[in-house]
Amino acid sequence: MVRSTTQSKYSHAELIMPDGKSISISPFSTAGVRKINFEAEENAEDYDIVCVPVNTDQVETIEKFYADTAGDGYDWPGMILSKFTPFFIKRTGRWYCSEWIAYALRLAGAVDNLYHYADLTPQRLYEILAKYADKD
């Protein structure tokens, strides 16, 4: 559903924290923004991972943002309408996975220049973050 709606290679994005926890939101879960153990080793071929370097202060900012938004619901209208209009549509207290991640990384100062994208699909987020990737 998400891939066809957004015309994206990717249907989902997660922010993997240094402690191995993954922060994201799923459109088909009632948990809202949540943090779980990330276990890519089991299905490594299913993931394209981009490592964006962050420092301790940035991690703390992301964790605070998570604490402030934990449990917030999925923003289906925002995701769909932002894709099909030239405007960024946002419901307060609602997120879609790539939007939450982009906002968290921007708030932490780990990335910039995200403000001019109305539709931050998982694929667009991947393309943007690839520019910041740790090349080591």
Whole-angstrom Cα distance, residue 32 to residue 24? 8
**pLDDT higher than 90, residue 39:** no
Query: Mean pLDDT, to the nearest integer, of 59-88?
Result: 81
Alpha-carbon separation of residue 34 from 15, 31, 62, 105 (angstroms): 11, 6, 13, 16
- Range among 53-57, 110-114, 119-123, 127-131 with highest mean pLDDT value: 53-57
What residues does each domain of the chain span? 2-130
Q: Which residues does 56 contact at the CB level (< 8 Å), separation at least 6?
A: none
Pseudo-torsion of CA 110, 115, 119, 122, nearest 10°? 0
**pLDDT higher than 80, residue 135:** no
pTM score, two decimals? 0.81
**pLDDT higher than 70, residue 25:** yes
